[in-house]
Structure 1
Amino acid sequence: MSVPLTTAATEPLAARAWPAAPGNAELDLAIGRTLASIDRNLRHFGADFPAPSSTQSVYPAIGNIEWTNGFWTGMLWLAYEVTGAARYREAAEGHVRSFHARQQERHNTNHHDLGFLYSLSCIAAHKLTGSEIAQEAAMGAARLLMERYQARAGIIQAWGDLNDPEQSGRMIIDCNLNLPLLYWAGEQSGDPSFKAAADSHIAAAARHIVRPDGSTFHTFFFDTATGAPRHGKTHQGYSDDSCWARGQAWGISGFPLVYRHNGDARLLDVAKVVANYYLNRLPEDGVSYWDLIFTSGPEERDSSAAAIAACGLLELARNLAQDDPLRAAYEQAAAGMVHVLSERYLITDGAPGSGLLKHAVYHKPNKIGIDECTIWGDYFYFEALVRMTRNWQPYW
């Protein structure tokens, strides 16, 4: 019998009345509004990218410098899949050339978010078009990500100088979404070290980032000399012992996405633990506050966490047995979130450069992007719509 990856118990899922799942007409309307927004922004940004978060709902234009740039390219690939329109493919292929140069020149690549950057841009391009330059760029990014693997701790360091004892040994829950880049690279190259590193990292996340009550630390530190676990800490949450909502959503999404690659069914059990904790702490409309310590009151919501969680719940549900009672519950919750986001959080008449989902939070402690749009929230909202309307194969 296999040893569980986490000692956390799965909370019983509280009863909740979700809105009815969106029908075909509602989903088509939401996709149409999303495409209209992408078209406005495609003309507005040209070869540039939206900044991570908006200012008064409009994204500043930036070059290919941020950890978030892949989300805009991912939206273009989703638009191409949905419509077949050449303008989306041509724009995304221009981005692919930029991403190829970025990894080749090591331009702002000294961090773990290479999966966010290259899965949604270059792996997507390779899967959809067979692009060799995209394949080469993604392989280069995977090799850069492997440089951050700390062998004794068995984790990929998030950011910071690998040789700085004050920064080394830090893993974060977000990195679950970066691991598919390594699994893809292992499959493409036949090199087992990519998969081994990803397997080690996800196991460490399950054991140390997931707390016994099913909540998560944002970050966790290890001693890189001995591999010993040290302590959990927040970076963007309310406090070290609270539960940052977007981090919990990364967990809901990341554990089942990794299961897709390595087939370890224990990851689905971990995902259930994390999902139930999140769902049991939502306010009336199903869109979380920026930290799950808040369930009511004047604190800001984070619509981006809801969009990520919806995608994660749909990925988790599709991997559960038909007779698993949580399968239908997760599908219902995801559909309810998408309905609420479409009805109450969607910007339908934005100016060029504006985002899709209002009322998101980037970094509350640092006072960045509070009650604004975030480009990852927009991406995951579109991904959720695509997941709900077709048998979509993830870029992750």
Structure 2
Amino acid sequence: MTSTTPALDARVAAALADAVAVVRRNIDTFGDAYVDDTTRDNRYAPRPAHGQFAAGQNRGWTTSFVPGMHWLAWELTGDDAFRDQALRHAADFERRLLADEDLDTHDLGFLYTLAAVVPWRKTGDERWRAAGIGAAERLMTRFLEPAGIIQAWGDLSDPEQRGRTIIDSLMNMPLLTWAGEQTGDPRYADAVRRHTAQLRDNIMRADDSTFHTFYWDVETGEPLRGGTEQGAFDDSCWARGEAWGVYGFALNYEATGDETLLEAAWRCAEYFLAHLPADRIPYWDLVYTDGSDAPRDSSAAAIAACGLYELAACDPDPSRAARARREADALLDALIAGARPADPDDADALILHGVYDLPKRTGVDEGTLWGDYFYLEAITRRTNAAWERYW
């Protein structure tokens, strides 16, 4: 364990056992099918058919969190059934890449870090390394000069999306960092450096809150405007976005050595922590405070906990590192107390009370794949101080 707090250790151990049991049960229930982004009434179902895609097929940005949880469960238990299922998913992600299916997104970083890079690290199989590098090269096609950003969504010629990035994109940069290390090609590191600097300078506001999305003029590189897709207002602070900032800026500080990114991670962390309610599970947008009837977003707390554990590992200041660890522990403990199902048999999700997209009324007060993954990652970090991060 990372600190000597026996009561918390016991709560984390119990939560770990429950979480692994749910991951195991979901393998038995869904097999190789991919579940939807969120639960309905706390139960997952295969993602619905859509266009050319059959029900349960590998599409969208969240499917890799399933094998991500399998890898974590394998490391936590040593049970090869988890590894074997993760590798079956890795083969399907390789197929998705080669078939050019649903790849017009910056979320190739989320997808192929967990579904190609992690399998390569765990097995040494060159097949997965090739898939990871292929995905990174595809992601590089979204890098726009002279704006120095990777476009988030959609076809690069779509005028509605042209020149737009989002704060989540910070978590997609580790795929490029890894590809640069593997190939020696400096283009990858240059894209990471420029993209993260643009987000530091423009997606962060003076008060340390963040925009969800931001537009640049792709011809001149001029920053244009910020806004939101999933937050409450264009000038409010979407909770999950601020959490992505904590974790994403910390990871990219480690990738680049740029200390301004470490400070950006802390700025996001301080704002996030200062806007938590008393029970420490954030409202879906940080504009809401204690007493509001707005929904909570447990997934934002899980992501922020992982980001704070990362700050505890990478900040050279011992006092700040110790504080980050305490805050991460407190968020994890809050999730165990307030979002973990009282009876794991009553839900397919590891944690409840997440929000996907409240403005579109999608996945409100439900389990989410990313919330489940980052909750299990936080448990892993709290349980094994020597754990080697996936991102």
Select which of 356, 371, 388 maps to 2:382.
388
Aligned length in residues: 376
Q: Give the Cα separation in 2 of the matches to 1:183 and 1:284.
A: 38
Select which of 14, 33, 40 maps to 1:55.
40
Q: Which has the higher contact order (CA 8 A, sep 6+)?
A: 1
Residue in 2 that maps onto 1:114: 108
Q: 1:348 to 1:140 in 2, by over 3 A?
A: farther
Residue in 2 that maps onto 1:328: 322
Residue in 2 that maps onto 1:345: 339
2:93 is the alignment partner of 1:99:
yes
Q: Give the Cα separation in 2 of the matches to 1:165 and 1:41.
A: 40
Q: Give the Cα separation in 2 of the matches to 1:226 and 1:34.
A: 49
2:296 is the alignment partner of 1:311:
no
CA contact (8 A) 1:112 1:159 kept: yes
Q: C-alpha displacement at 1:268, in angstroms?
A: 0.8
Select which of 29, 39, 43 maps to 1:44.
29
Q: C-alpha displacement at 1:348, in angstroms?
A: 4.8
- Aligned with 1:69: secondary structure? coil
Q: Give the Cα separation in 1 of the matches to 2:346 and 2:64.
A: 20
CA contact (8 A) 1:252 1:309 kept: yes
- Aligned with 2:271: secondary structure? helix
Q: C-alpha displacement at 1:353, in angstroms?
A: 7.0
- Aligned with 1:370: secondary structure? strand
CA contact (8 A) 2:8 2:333 kept: no
Q: Give the Cα separation in 1 of the matches to 2:267 and 2:255.
A: 20
Q: Give the Cα separation in 2 of the matches to 1:72 and 1:127.
A: 17
Select which of 285, 293, 299 maps to 2:287.
293
Q: C-alpha displacement at 1:322, in angstroms?
A: 4.4
One-letter code of the match for 2:37?
P
Select which of 350, 357, 365 maps to 1:356.
350
Q: Give the Cα separation in 2 of the matches to 1:109 and 1:347.
A: 34
- Aligned with 2:363: secondary structure? strand
Q: Deviations 1:149-197 (Å, cap 9, x if unpaired)? A: 1011000000022123332000100000000000001111111101111
2:163 is the alignment partner of 1:169:
yes
Q: C-alpha displacement at 1:26, in angstroms?
A: 2.0
CA contact (8 A) 1:152 1:226 kept: yes
**RMSD between aligned alpha carbons?**
1.4
Q: Which sits farther off after the overlay, 226-235 or 255-264?
A: 255-264
CA contact (8 A) 1:172 1:218 kept: yes
Select which of 299, 302, 305 maps to 2:297.
302
Q: C-alpha displacement at 1:105, in angstroms?
A: 1.1
Q: Percent identity?
A: 44
2:261 is the alignment partner of 1:261:
no
Residue in 1 that maps onto 2:177: 183
Q: C-alpha displacement at 1:327, in angstroms?
A: 2.5
Q: Which sits farther off after the overlay, 267-276 or 348-357?
A: 348-357
Q: C-alpha displacement at 1:351, in angstroms?
A: 4.6
- Aligned with 1:220: secondary structure? strand
Residue in 2 that maps onto 1:370: 364
Q: Give the Cα separation in 1 of the matches to 2:18 and 2:304.
A: 21
- Aligned with 1:211: secondary structure? coil
CA contact (8 A) 2:145 2:219 kept: no
Give TM-score, length-normalised by structure 2: 0.94
Q: Which sits farther off after the overlay, 164-173 or 200-209?
A: 164-173
Residue in 1 that maps onto 2:80: 86
Select which of 232, 239, 245 maps to 1:238.
232
Q: Give the Cα separation in 2 of the matches to 1:252 and 1:195.
A: 20
Q: C-alpha displacement at 1:114, in angstroms?
A: 0.6
Unaligned residue ranges in structure 1 (runs of 5+): 1-19
One-letter code of the match for 2:305?
A
Q: C-alpha displacement at 1:246, in angstroms?
A: 0.2
- Aligned with 1:355: secondary structure? coil
One-letter code of the match for 1:53?
T
Q: Deviations 1:258-285 (Å, cap 9, x if unpaired)? A: 1222222221111111110110000001
Q: 1:220 to 1:173 in 2, by over 3 A?
A: same
